[in-house]
Amino acid sequence: MEYRELGRTGVKVSSICLGTMTWGQQNTEAEGHEQMDYAIAQGINFFDTSEMYAVPPKPETQGSTEKIVGSWFKARRNRDKVILATKVAGRSPMTWLRDDGAGTEQSKAQIHEAVNKSLKRLQTDYIDLYQLHWPDRPINLFGGLGYKHIEGASHPIGEILEALQEVVKSGKVRFIGLSNETPWGTMTFLHHAKTKGLPRVQSIQNAYNLVNRTFELGGSEIAHRDGVGLLAYSPLAQ
């Protein structure tokens, strides 16, 4: 297995990351455990999940994937063998993730609530890589092509980073990353981190495949010059 540095963290992760988003809906707990056992046996040390999973998202299965990862940690007692990544939802009308029944957004309160719930489901006291699943501002999402300006509510990127700084300082999160983000968004996060002494994003999880190579247009230069590593998802274009 080949290993690469995660951003500029000094942490080595396997070049293949185990995605988990179907566990609890399209795959059973036993099948999820079997996949994790096999991954570890092949030298994979990097697992990715999300508070929103399983997919397609619905109230009945939300959080099930993290619970399956958590039950595997408890049974195998090997949390230290895995670099664990999970995500907090961006702004959406999904009302079943938060205790107050509000739609998701990346406010300080919701980020803290999401971290604490993920830790409980995962049966761990820390998350290695905590990612913003999609931007709080309205943009094309999940591999959508082109740009169209859309007005809508959003929390400023600086404020989102300040909330993430709090969960990092608490010891609940080691590093932070982005997902479904644009070059403009990535550079704005890096700018706030550098000028305000806030946590630096170490990775970006975006769609990248033969029919969607938009990451190459701006993201690849950022990855090389600023060390924000790509976690490529949908390599087979879904």
Specify whether 53 is catalytic: yes
CA dist., res. 178 & res. 137, Å (int): 13
Residue 142 has pLDDT above 80, yes or no: no
Residue 150 has pLDDT above 90, yes or no: no
What was the pLDDT predicted at 205?
97
Residue 19, classified by CB atoms within 10 Å of its CB into exposed (0-12), middle (13-18) or buried (19+), is buried
CB count within 10 Å of CB 172 equals 18
Beta-strand pair 3-5/12-14: antiparallel
Cα 54 to chain center, whole Å? 14
CB count within 10 Å of CB 94 equals 16
Residue 139 has pLDDT above 70, yes or no: yes
The catalytic residue among 38, 53, 130, 233 is: 53
pLDDT tens digit sequence for 46-105: 999 999 999 999 999 999 999 999 999 999 999 999 999 999 999 999 999 999 999 999
Residue 42 has pLDDT above 70, yes or no: yes
CA dist., res. 50 & res. 52, Å (int): 5
- For residues 238 and 227, which has the higher predicted lDDT (pLDDT)? 227
What was the pLDDT predicted at 149?
75
What was the pLDDT predicted at 144?
65
What's the pTM value of the predicted model, to 2 decimals? 0.96
What was the pLDDT predicted at 147?
74
CATH for the stretch 3-230: 3.20.20.100
pLDDT tens digit sequence for 199-236: 999 999 999 999 889 999 889 999 999 999 999 999 88
Can you tell me the mean pLDDT for 128-148? Answer: 84
Residue 129 has pLDDT above 90, yes or no: yes
